[in-house]
A = this chain, B = another copy of it.
Amino acid sequence: MARKIQGGITFPKGFQANGLYSGIKSNRKLDLALIVSDVDAEAAGLFTTNRIKAAPVSLSQRRIRGGQARAILVNSGNANACTGDAGMQDALRMTEKVSQFLTCTARKILCASTGVIGRPLPVNNILEVIPDLVAGGSPYKNMECAKAIMTTDTYPKEAQAEFQCSGFPVRIGGIAKGVGMIHPQMATMLVFLTSDANISREALKAALQTVVDRNFHTLSVDGETSTNDSVIILSNGCAGNPKIQKGTPAYADFIESLDGVCQKLRELLVHDGEGATKFIHISVQGAKSRTDAKKVAASIAKSILVKTAFFGEDVNWGRIMVAIGNAGVVVREEKIDISVGDVSLVHHGIGMGEAQEEKALEVMKGKEIHLSVSLGMGPMTAEYWTTDLSYEYVRINAGYKGRT
């Protein structure tokens, strides 16, 4: 079973981290982060499906095909997106500089950026700070690193887990930043995972795909997929365990622990959703197919009308019906059941009446609300997490650019 210990991104053996201020953010908060493995690590990544990708995404996607990496350089406050050739040159120069100080090839340095789109990076400031960033790296600077990737996040997000593999303790750690623009595909914004597992590249890639599908492709704050979303994992083998191969019991243990880390990060992301006052866990049952179940859950999670109703603690199940009907899935009104918490609101397509709505009002006042929808069309299910849509969400998003 996974044992939880403090440590975040440097919890596994053989990892160092750092976070500094490099001159990007106008408020002088930490804005440059580094995650370094002491030795070459197996690397896998999943990146945004947006057709417009930031330079660091294109670069990391290309480099990760090589299969091994030493470090991830991350800046916040500037997305280095829609910056053309100059943006790519900046990403190349920054990672080149890191590689010099790590005495490895630049192809083993991955990178990521988050923040405002379309502004050139203050690349000279960043280059100037990189020697200190590398030199100051330490297993104890996980928190600086977690803070340096934040934008409108209100707290840093870390998680870790440990399991036994043939008597060797194997550790997994992770950090995330999210808040706005959180949406599948690639719900995550930025998630960085580290492990000291000795694991085959094939197994690492498959495990990452599995846990990302489970945890981050089912998360929606505002229905957008950014130019920069990235999930990257490095696994450096320092635990000394026998190599984990796909399909073995050790692989199942690895997935379980990785899933635990990602679940925790997902919770932290949802709870820090921009301007969120409520967290809604949507579960859809009784769908003909998994795709149908997902579409219905996503349609509810993304409905502005549903999200504002939750903010207003308004038991407006009609809007949930509208979202179900708009999901692009064959449904039959007379088979639909809806409940919040353990209060049934709709049975076979018809409202259960005002007494039930009164009861539901109590559930709606909570901070965490479980919304359950049954379609009565088959055996398949899906889950989704979303937030309400508040005044605060509008306030944050109406003036984001001035607040980097």
Contact = CB atoms under 8 A, between A and B. Distances in A.
A348 B52 CA distance: 13
Interface in A58-111: 79, 81-84
A397 interface: yes
Interface stretch (A32-40, A156-164, A249-257, A326-334): A326-334
Interface residues of A, number: 64
A322 B52 contact: yes
A321 B398 contact: no
Contact of A52 (B53, B303, B321): B321
Nearest to A388: B398
A117 interface: yes
Contacts of A240: none
Contacts of A329: 51
A346 B226 CA distance: 18
Interface string A333-364: 11000000000001011110000000000000
B325 A227 contact: yes
A380 interface: no
A312 B226 contact: no
27 contacts: A50-B325, A51-B330, A52-B325, A84-B334, A84-B348, A84-B349, A116-B318, A117-B321, A118-B318, A118-B350, A181-B322, A222-B305, A223-B304, A224-B319, A224-B326, A225-B322, A227-B318, A227-B325, A304-B304, A304-B397, A308-B393, A309-B398, A311-B394, A314-B402, A391-B391, A391-B395, A393-B394
Interface of A: 50-53, 79, 81-84, 116-119, 180-181, 222-227, 302-305, 308-309, 311-312, 314-319, 321-327, 329-331, 333-334, 346, 348-351, 389-391, 393-395, 397-402
